């Protein structure tokens, strides 16, 4: 089997990905592609990126053997990739640093971003502050209500947070609005997309910046196990933390890849965000991928307890990995995720983001199935501080 080398030159992962944007964006995207192609193999750029990840983000993030969890679950040995320990508390910053460096090389002075849970917005506002760039973050007004603390963090960092009132007032609408800003202000503006979706080259570029996660796991696991893991588990909304973990392992057929989507109140309730598990291929936000849509092709509102998974599309590379049977996509409900949130908090003293709690919850099912001699690495993509209001609310506690 030849080494995995997708996407192709036109940004296609099999039938997925591509460039489905209005003509106005074709030229800016071509410029971005050119700049990224030039810099991705430039040793100086890569050294700059690596140094920022080390000194500013605090990488490498630890690979933590969760021994108590392993004992309790009575199956495979569980390791947690601690992206929650990154500066700003999630994996998102790996990508925003990469794109902000690229923006600086392209001479752009203003960055914009869309955000759902607010983690990508915070990560963008953070690097904008550090690089002295103007920053505007688009956020659905529903998400602003759910994530008040992150909104305030972004403002403290000097970003302007623009509430998006259109459509379902969530992440997908924020993405539409950010695209509009970019079309209008492309001269001085760089659009930092937060996930492995959007038009080419974003899915590949964000994946490349996030793949530091998987690269670290590859050598870190050697120290404990002297071999590669049997399974990788990560939550999938747009899919950037999962792609970052999976990508360096795609050619290792013996490593099973599990992407965990949000089943919300249950698949059968219709209130979920399990795009790969239940959706159909279509075109949204610049790429062809699986979508949650009505019978006549309108994108539907999704539901998840975690704003970061609440997205009706998914990165096109995940769509391809699903069809190619290289990765398996499963789903976890709100209540299962919530239980995992509490379990990890109480057993290991680590409070996971509700997004990452979906991955933890699935690992709990997988561990006994695989058995004691197997090894599972779970991507703990973010920390749960931002979610304590949600969790408290569900338990009837008001601050």
Partner 1 sequence: MSRIASIFQQLHKRDRRALIPYITAGDPEPWVTVPLMHALVTAGADILELGVPFSDPMADGPVIQRASERALKNRVRLVDVLNMVREFRAKDDKTPVVLMGYLNPIEVMGYERFAAAAAAAGVDGALTVDLPPEEAGAFTPVLRRHNLDAIFLIAPTSGEERVSRIAAAASGFIYYVSLRGVTGAAHLDVNEVEAKLKSIRRHTRLPLGVGFGINSPEMAAAMARIADAVVVGSAIVRRIEEMAGTPDRVLGEVPAFVASLRRAMDSATVSPEQVSGGRA
Tell me if residue 92 is catalytic: yes
Among 61, 81, 83, 92, which one carries the catalytic annotation? 92
Q: Shortest gap between Cβ of 250 and partner 1 (angstroms)? A: 25
- Contact at 8 Å (CB) between 288 and 255? no
User: What's the closest the beta carbon of residue 8 comes to partner 1, in angstroms?
Assistant: 12
Q: Do residues 155 and 161 lie in contact, with contact meaning Cβ atoms separated by under 8 Å?
A: yes
Which residues here bind partner 1, judged by CB under 8 A?
A: 10, 18-24, 26-28, 166-167, 172-173, 176, 179-180, 183-184, 186, 280-286, 291, 293, 295-300
Nearest residue (CB) to partner 1, 7 versus 28: 28
Q: According to DSSP H, which parts of the chain are helical?
A: 23-40, 43-52, 67-73, 92-105, 119-131, 141-146, 148-156, 171-184, 202-210, 212-225, 240-246, 275-278, 316-323, 334-348, 354-370, 388-394
CB of 272 to partner 1, least distance (A): 18
Query: Residue 160's beta-bridge partner residues?
Result: 136
Write down the least CB distance from residue 7 to partner 1, Å.
Answer: 13
Beta carbon nearer to partner 1, 21 or 234: 21
Q: Do residues 139 and 146 make contact, with C-beta atoms less than 8 angstroms apart?
A: no
Burial of 342 (0-12, 13-18, 19+ CB in 10 A): middle
Beta-bridged to residue 65, according to DSSP, are 79
Taking the least distance from each CB to partner 1, the nearer of 172 and 383 is: 172
Distance CA 221, CA 109 (A): 40
Q: How far apart are CA 192 and CA 337, in angstroms?
A: 29
Based on CB atoms, which residue is closest to partner 1, 234 or 299?
Answer: 299
| Least distance in angstroms from the C-beta of 35 to partner 1 | 16
Q: Is 114 annotated as catalytic?
A: yes
Nearest residue to 367 (alpha-carbon basis) of 72, 62, 64: 72
Within 10 angstroms of residue 282's Cβ, the number of other Cβ atoms is 15
Q: How many CB atoms lie within 10 A of CB 30?
A: 12
Pick the closer one to partner 1 by CB: 225 or 323: 323
How far is Cα 57 from Cα 121, in angstroms, rounded to an integer? Answer: 16
For residues 80 and 291, which CB has a smaller minimum distance to partner 1 in the complex? 291
Shortest distance, CB of residue 46 to partner 1, whole angstroms? 29
C-beta of residue 128 within 8 angstroms of C-beta of residue 136:
no
Q: Which of residues 91 and 272 has its CB atom nearest to partner 1 in the complex?
A: 272
Provide, rounded to whole angstroms, the least separation between the CB of residue 154 and partner 1.
23
- The Cα–Cα gap between 95 and 207 comes to 8
**Of residues 336, 357, 381, 386, which has the active-site annotation?**
381
Options 83, 114, 142, 317, the catalytic residue: 114
Beta carbons within 8 Å of 19's beta carbon, 6+ residues apart: 10, 11, 26, 29, 199, 200, 286, 287
Active-site positions read 92, 114, 381
């Amino acid at each position: 089997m030849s080494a995995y080398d997708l996407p192709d030159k036109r940004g296609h992962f099999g039938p997925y990905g591509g460039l489905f944007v209005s003509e106005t964006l074709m030229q800016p995207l071509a410029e971005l592609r050119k700049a990224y192609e030039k810099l991705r193999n430039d040793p100086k750029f890569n050294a700059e990126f690596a140094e920022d990840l080390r000194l500013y983000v605090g990488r490498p993030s630890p690979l933590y053997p969760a021994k108590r969890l392993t004992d309790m679950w009575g199956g495979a040995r569980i390791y947690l990739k601690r992206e929650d320990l990154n500066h700003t508390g999630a994996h998102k910053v790996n990508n925003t640093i990469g794109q902000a460096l690229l923006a600086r090389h392209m001479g752009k002075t203003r960055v914009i971003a869309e955000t759902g849970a607010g983690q990508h917005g915070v990560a963008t506002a953070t690097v904008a502050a550090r690089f002295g760039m103007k920053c505007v973050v688009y956020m659905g007004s529903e998400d602003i209500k759910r994530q008040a603390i992150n909104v305030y963090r972004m403002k403290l960092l000097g970003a302007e947070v623009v509430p998006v009132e259109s459509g379902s007032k969530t992440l997908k609408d924020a993405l539409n609005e950010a695209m509009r800003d970019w079309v209008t202000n492309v001269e001085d503006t760089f659009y930092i997309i937060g996930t492995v979706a959007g038009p080419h080259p974003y899915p590949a570029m964000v994946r490349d910046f996030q793949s530091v996660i998987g690269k670290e796991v590859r050598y870190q696991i050697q120290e404990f196990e002297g071999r590669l893991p049997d399974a990788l588990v990560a939550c999938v909304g747009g899919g950037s933390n999962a792609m970052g973990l999976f990508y360096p392992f795609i050619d290792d057929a013996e490593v099973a890849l599990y992407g965990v989507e949000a089943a919300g109140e249950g698949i059968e309730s219709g209130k979920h965000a399990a795009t790969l598990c239940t959706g159909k291929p279509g075109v949204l936000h610049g790429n062809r991928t699986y979508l949650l849509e009505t019978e006549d092709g309108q994108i539907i509102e999704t539901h998840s307890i975690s704003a970061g998974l609440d997205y009706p599309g998914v990165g096109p590379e995940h769509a391809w990995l699903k069809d190619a049977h290289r990765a398996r996509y499963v789903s976890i409900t709100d209540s299962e995720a919530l239980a995992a949130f509490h379990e990890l908090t109480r057993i290991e003293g680590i409070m996971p983001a509700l997004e990452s709690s979906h991955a933890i919850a699935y690992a709990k099912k997988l561990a006994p199935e695989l058995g004691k001699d197997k090894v599972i690495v779970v991507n703990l993509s973010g920390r749960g501080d931002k979610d304590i209001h949600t969790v408290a609310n569900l338990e009837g506690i008001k601050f």
